[in-house]
Amino acid sequence: MAEQREIKAKTSWRSPRTICIIFLFIAAVVALMTIAIVQSKPISQKYKYGIVLDAGSSHTSVYIYEWPAEKENNTGMVRQLDTCDVEGKGISSYANNVSQAGNSLKKCMDKAKKSVPKAKHGDTPVYLGATAGMRLLSMENKRASDEVMASVERTLRNTPFDYQGARIISGQEEGAFGWITVNYLSDNFRQAKPTMGALDLGGASTQITFVSKQSSVSPENSIDFRLYGKDYQLYTHSFLCYGKDQVLKLAMAHQLETDEYILHDPCFHPGYKVNKSLGSVFNSPCAKTFDEPSRTFTHIGEGKWEECRNSIRKVFNFSDCSFSSCSFNRVYQPKVEGMFGAFSAYYFVMNFLNLTTHSLEESKMSLSKYCSTSWSEIKSNHPKVKDKYLAEYCFSATYILTLLEDGYKFTPENWNDINFIDKIENSNAGWTLGYMLNLTNMIPAEAPDTPPLTNGGFVTVMLFLSMAIIVLLALSCKFFGRPSCSSPKEII
Ligand SMILES: O=P(O)(O)OP(=O)(O)OP(=O)(O)OC[C@H]1O[C@@H](n2cnc3c(O)ncnc32)[C@H](O)[C@@H]1O
Ligand SMILES: [Ca+2]
């Protein structure tokens, strides 16, 4: 009897050992469930979408972005899902045929309807930003510019997407959002890495944006951002009329001042000879208007690189500067610092000429040789490239080198800090992604909360707790000696 009582006392669930095991068991189960709830996010990946139309001076592109719905504040999460190049020229070319401006976008918007899942159409914001071509049109003819914008707005409102606006963005915004894009795609914000500057060369304007330690003496060139808990002071400037199409007009207009009938152009290949209308040069507010725009002149190539560079230098004013330092045209610019990403026409041109990894001196030598090559040889070497692009590569690359070296003051020593880039992680470098991230509040000023454990830590804790539960279960079986825990043989 006494022995039986002793066994009973030993196996009683009130014994300190049993209470301890039960307590540990409950604690382990509670801990396991709490961690699972806190750590786990919904496993099904729900995506969100956004569409931005880049209505540039030379053409319009539609960019469709995608990101996991529950991770929108994590940088590096938005990716470019699809793009569509609108057929024809930029929307500013529809000044005399405004209704076609909106119609020109329809094919690409139909493509966007296929890229974004139907159920998400209504929740997908669509934005249109117009750049330098429309800035010039609005200076020249405000009414035509308003009508073009109204026409594109009508088309976008007629899509199933969530229309959020169509506007002409400022040069400052264009520069700053290009900088946000390249640094977001390089994950420089979240990792607090040094940022890279952004160089954008369009058809009608060009932008330079970078973080400078020198405090800005010119408020219109300065933008402050707080991103992911870090302050950034940006220097930015957009030069209207210094995109590569407008600068070509400026350079030709300068040369036509001496002879209005024949233009012997050192920036075009020997053997190039084309009759052009004066209007094709003087039809922009960037170049003075001419009295007889329909009269023609003969454009003759000479292929002399040194002379080409000298003629391009004439479109810059390097002399007057009322600040401690200037780029050109009396615009303040601190010394360039750090790495740079150069995109759009910088990339198209330097990539075509295989100059993206050359030093400054090598680029000059190579370009000098290329410019002196005859037009017939150039054409036969590149039968598939558009004549307009092909004829202009010598001019465009000479302009790029002059802008970077004489304009922005890059030197042979820091030339290789410039990376000529098209895409980063499959997304195009350009202002559109930064614009959308800003309008959807997807880059927070402060760093967002991170999960309490890393994935590795989470798995380790879960494994440990699971093993603890199994051990506790085994122990409790042993101590209570309950039949359900015994082997089938023992039960029999
Ligand atoms: O920023 P803005 O000034 O409004 O102009 P854009 O947005 O239309 O300008 P892009 O960057 O699209 O293009 C810049 C220039 O490069 C030209 N371009 C585009 N693709 C090219 C290629 O493959 N080779 C040479 N030039 C090209 C284009 O015609 C423009 O003159
Ligand atoms: Ca552009």
Q: What strands, in cross-sheet order, belong to the sheet with 262-265?
A: 262-265, 296-301, 273-277
Per-residue tens of pLDDT for the chain, all 492 residues: 445 555 454 556 677 777 777 777 787 777 767 766 666 554 456 899 999 999 999 999 999 999 998 766 666 689 999 999 999 999 999 999 999 999 999 999 999 999 999 999 999 999 999 999 999 999 999 999 999 999 999 999 999 999 999 999 999 999 999 999 999 999 999 888 999 999 999 999 999 999 998 887 788 999 999 998 899 999 999 999 999 999 999 999 999 988 889 999 999 999 999 999 999 999 899 987 666 678 899 999 999 999 999 999 999 999 999 999 999 999 999 999 999 999 999 999 999 999 999 999 999 999 999 999 999 999 999 999 999 999 999 999 999 999 999 999 999 999 999 999 999 999 999 999 999 999 998 888 887 666 666 666 777 777 787 787 778 777 777 766 654 444 444 433
Clarify whether 307 is annotated catalytic: no
| Non-local CB neighbours of 5 within 8 Å, separated by 6+ positions | none
Which of 344, 352, 393 to mutate for ligand 1's pocket (most ligand atoms within 8 Å of CB)? Answer: 344
Measured distance between the N- and C-terminal CA atoms of the chain, rounded to whole angstroms:
26
d(CA 355, CA 358): 5
What Å distances lie between residue 404 and 56, 247, 322, 414, CA to CA? 22, 14, 21, 11
Which residue owns the Cα nearest ligand 1 atom 14? 202
Binding site residue list for ATP: 203-207
Burial of 248 (C-beta count, 10 Å sphere; 0-12/13-18/19+): buried
Q: 440 C-alpha to center of ligand 2: Å?
A: 21
Do residues 350 and 420 make contact, with C-beta atoms less than 8 angstroms apart? Answer: yes
Catalytic residue among 3, 87, 140, 174: 174
Q: 186 C-alpha to center of ligand 2: Å?
A: 20
Q: What is the DSSP string of 100-129?
A: HHHHTTHHHHHHHHHHS-GGGGGG-EEEEE
Annotate 193-214 with b (16+ C-beta within 10 A) or e (fewer).
eebbbbbbbbbbbbbbbbbbee
Question: Residue holding tokens 């015994």?
Answer: 486
d(CA 431, CA 171): 11
ipTM of the assembly?
Answer: 0.99
Binding site residue list: 203-207
